Amino acid sequence: MISFLNQHGSELIIKTWEQIYISAFAIILGIIVAVPLGILLTRYDKTAKYVMSISGMLQTIPSLALLALMIPIFGIGKVPAIVALFIYSLLPILRNTYIGMKKVNANLIDAARGLGMTTMQSIFKVEIPMSMPIIMSGIRLSTVYVISWSTLASYIGAGGLGDFIFNGLNLYNPSLIIGGTIPVTILAILADYLLGIFEKKVTPKTKRSEV
């Protein structure tokens, strides 16, 4: 491992940054799209079934196949990788947002309306805070998935730690494989840990005591 760091130390920093950049961009896009959509779908149950089905179908497409499908549209590089990973990030966040919002105690919503809150005020001040643990669970799951799957982005020239892994496989070089795999694992664990801390900060104390 020391010899690997001596030979590829600077390259490792660059590839790790590429991995973080691709993953973060994809997951942020996933949150921006899936959380509001999940909230909206709680108001349209019939539409929700179709949207969840479509999202589930996209999730079943093999990751390499989805990356390949992006090439005719976006070419090669980081953009098609981010788009593909964004699609993969949607389902867990969307599903958990929808489920979390649906599980909010109806009495709390009625009480909010009784206090004169509008629908939007009820959503932002009551429903989202109370469903935050479930929403964050989906975000954490998607983040770990995306960080892991982003190694495949190397196949379409997006860079990242997958370059080490696949070069190691092609060259039968275990040190390259290990040198790429360990940082990916550390990134996934670290991201989940940090999101866990964030989840505790944004979860109401009354809700924390229940879980």
The tens digit of pLDDT for each residue in 151-185 reads 988 888 888 888 888 888 888 888 888 888 999 99
Least confident of 82-86, 144-148, 156-160: 156-160
Tally the domains of the chain.
Answer: 1
- Helix then strand then coil, in percent of the chain rounded to 5, is 85, 0, 15
Task: Give the separation between CA 64 and CA 61, rounded to whole angstroms.
Answer: 8
Three-state secondary-structure class, residue 90: helix
211, part of any domain: no
Residue 61 is part of which domain span? 2-204
104, part of any domain: yes
101, part of any domain: yes
Predicted TM-score (pTM) of this structure: 0.87
Calculate ∠ Cα 93-59-97, nearest 5°. Answer: 15
155, part of any domain: yes
Task: Give the separation between CA 18 and CA 196, rounded to whole angstroms.
Answer: 23
117, part of any domain: yes
- The CATH number linked to 158 is 1.10.3720.10
Burial 133-155 (b: 16+ CB within 10 A, else e): bbbbbbbbbbbbbbbebbbbbbb
State the angle between helix axes of 128-149 and 174-202 in degrees (0 to 180), rounded to the nearest 10.
170
